Amino acid sequence: MTSSKCKILIVDDEPLNVELLSVYLGDDYDIVTSYNGKDALEKVKKECPDLILLDVMMPEMDGYAVCRVIREEFGMDFIPIIMVTALTDKADHQRGIDAGADEFLKKPIGKFELEKKITSLLRIKEQHDILLTEKNKAYHYLDYVGILVAVLDLNYHIRHINKKGSEFLGYDPEKLIDHEWVESFIPYDSVSDIRRHYAGLASGAEKPYEYSEFPVIISTGEERLFRWYDSPLLDDSSNTVGILISGEDITETKQAEKRLKEYAYQLERSNDLKDLFTDVMRHDLLNPAGLIKSFIGLLIEQESDEYKKNLLSNVNDTTEKLISMIDDAAHLAKLESVDDISFVKVDLNSMIKDTVEGFMHEIDQKGMNVRIGLEDGSYAIANPMIERVFVNLLSNSIKYSPNDSTITIDVVDTGDKWKISFTDQGDGIPNSSKSSVFERFKRLHKEDIRGTGIGLAIVKRIMDLHRENIAVDDNPEGNGSVFWLTLKKGS
């Protein structure tokens, strides 16, 4: 029992009886009194008592009529009503039960018996109130979960539906109650399957909470696809008394899955086309370009006219650039199709020296100087393709630096990594372009230099595969840029 006193309504047309019962109960309960049936009904609505002691024999409106109104018209099924009567006939007791009485006490009433009956009925009412509160909480939670939850009886009529479910369907909850669920909301083509599904749940032939998908028709006439997890509702004797259905609207999810599958298919086709184009570049373009270069070389050797020889040299240079562009594009396409690479121990000193040696002709032509700052035992953990990074960075330094300038290559110990930098004395890169310089086909405008813009994109992709850093800074000693990268040390 709660700490506050329960309220008891005493109804009797004899003031002496009312006074006696009030004396019996006044110390433990709050007492409300009434002396006729009509007044008693007003007190019930106004005072909301926890229990009613109701005399049977009263003028104008007897206790049976009062009890019937409380149960049927007021809908107060769970207020305990004890009928107090001098009648002993079984038929009178049956009339009381039919009217909704819970207990009978024979006049004159003993205090001990009265208190026992009241205590027992109030304890039952308290448990009911607790259950009702928990039920209301459950319904409240169900109203706000993001799924449709409904209770169907065995004829598939809706007995309860949560707020979210009524919102999904587009109807007020009150208008949905008692509607036959299958005929009202299931598309015709699915009716037989759904009835078979529910019948299987009710009979135990189907396991509860098995996943299923079927559509419902909402108020606009649109079909929406739901994912359902249904189960039978059982009474205390394990008899099936209904079906609990819970469904999640997956219409948009299914549409998104369909679009994703279509996109994946298009992406697969795109990758196939990219692979085909890469093969075309490597074989059908690169091989003829190589043959052209070879024939031009022969013509230059055989040509004695300087003007024609100069024209052939220009064609040869253009062909070399074409071959370089095809090779770079094919190599980048190949790198972009790779997600994982293997690593080995590489000798940075040897690799960088070999890279510089490979560009000595271009370096001498521009009268440039390459200064190399290496440390003994500079071993790194990398893929051999890292050499392509050094080649591209040195090539760019030579291209974009003036004649007679110096390029500095340093390998610096930073703890667990090496920092390799290529410093030139060219025009440098504006801050606004530093973030995009490694994007494919992005390059600074140079009137005297033509490039594809692919080289640095290849560099960036190789470093991404190594999961290492690459960036560009200004030359701290003057004009030019510093391209630098990191690599893990090799033991």
Kindly state whether residues 299 and 217 are assigned to the same domain: no
- Give the span between the Cα atoms of 45 and 74, in whole angstroms: 8
Q: 336, 357, 380 — which closes off a domain?
A: 336
Q: How far apart are the first and last CA of the chain?
A: 77
Mean pLDDT in order along the chain per 10 residues (491 residues): 76 91 91 93 92 91 92 85 82 85 85 88 82 63 70 92 87 89 92 90 82 89 90 86 88 85 74 59 63 80 84 79 66 70 91 92 93 88 90 91 94 92 91 80 44 73 90 91 93 71
Q: 100, 123, 141 — which closes off a domain?
A: 141
Identify the H or E element spanning 389.
Answer: helix 386-399
Say if 2 falls within a structural domain: no
Say if 178 falls within a structural domain: yes
Q: What's the pLDDT at 450?
A: 38
Q: What type of residue is 68? A: R
* Residue of 382, 341, 380 whose CA lies nearest to 465: 341
Pairing of β 81-85 and β 148-152: unpaired
> What secondary structure letter does DSSP report for 4?
S
Pairing of β 369-373 and β 406-413: parallel
Complete DSSP assignment for 422-444: EE--SS---HHHHTTTTSTT---
Say if 79 falls within a structural domain: yes
Kindly state whether residues 353 and 484 are assigned to the same domain: yes
- Give the span between the Cα atoms of 103 and 86, in whole angstroms: 14
Q: What's the pLDDT at 145?
A: 59
- Give the span between the Cα atoms of 261 and 403, in whole angstroms: 56
Say if 1 falls within a structural domain: no
Kindly state whether residues 332 and 351 are assigned to the same domain: no
Say if 461 falls within a structural domain: yes
Torsions phi, psi for 133 (to 5 deg) = -65, -45
Owning domain of residue 131: 7-141
Q: What's the pLDDT at 270?
A: 65
Q: What's the pLDDT at 365?
A: 93
Say if 373 falls within a structural domain: yes
Instruction: Map residue 359 onto helix, strand or coil.
Output: coil
* Residue of 421, 413, 423, 353 whose CA lies nearest to 380: 413
Tokens coding 216: 């419902």
Q: How many folded domains does the chain comprise?
A: 4
* Residue of 87, 16, 100, 20 whose CA lies nearest to 52: 100
Kindly state whether residues 167 and 131 are assigned to the same domain: no
Kindly state whether residues 127 and 228 are assigned to the same domain: no
3-state secondary structure 77-136: CCCCEEEEECCCCHHHHHHHHHHCCCEEEECCCCHHHHHHHHHHHHHHHHHHHHHHHHHH
Identify the H or E element spanning 340.
Answer: none
- Give the span between the Cα atoms of 38 and 405, in whole angstroms: 113
Say if 103 falls within a structural domain: yes
**Beta bridge pairs of residue 406:** 369
Identify the H or E element spanning 52.
Answer: strand 51-55
Q: What's the pLDDT at 445?
A: 45
Asked whether the beta carbons of 175 and 184 are under 8 A apart, the reply is: no
Asked whether the beta carbons of 219 and 169 are under 8 A apart, the reply is: yes
CB atoms within 10 A of CB 276: 10
Kindly state whether residues 115 and 102 are assigned to the same domain: yes
Asked whether the beta carbons of 358 and 391 are under 8 A apart, the reply is: yes
* ∠ Cα 437 443 444 (to 5°): 105
Tokens coding 235: 């009474």
Kindly state whether residues 19 and 135 are assigned to the same domain: yes
**Beta bridge pairs of residue 161:** 150
Q: Can you say whether residue 49 is alpha, beta or left, with left for phi > 0 and alpha for psi between -120 and 50 degrees?
A: beta
Kindly state whether residues 366 and 450 are assigned to the same domain: yes
Q: 311, 336, 361 — which closes off a domain?
A: 336
* Residue of 60, 89, 84, 72 whose CA lies nearest to 8: 84
Say if 418 falls within a structural domain: yes
Kindly state whether residues 200 and 265 are assigned to the same domain: no
pTM for the structure as a whole: 0.42
Tokens coding 218: 């909402």
Find the CATH number of the domain harbouring 423. Answer: 3.30.565.10
Q: What's the pLDDT at 84?
A: 87
Kindly state whether residues 130 and 172 are assigned to the same domain: no
Kindly state whether residues 485 and 348 are assigned to the same domain: yes
Asked whether the beta carbons of 346 and 380 are under 8 A apart, the reply is: yes
* Residue of 249, 232, 250 whose CA lies nearest to 241: 232
Kindly state whether residues 485 and 369 are assigned to the same domain: yes
State the number of CA atoms in the 13 A half-sphere of 352 facing the CB: 20
**Cα radius of gyration rounded to whole Å, the chain:** 46
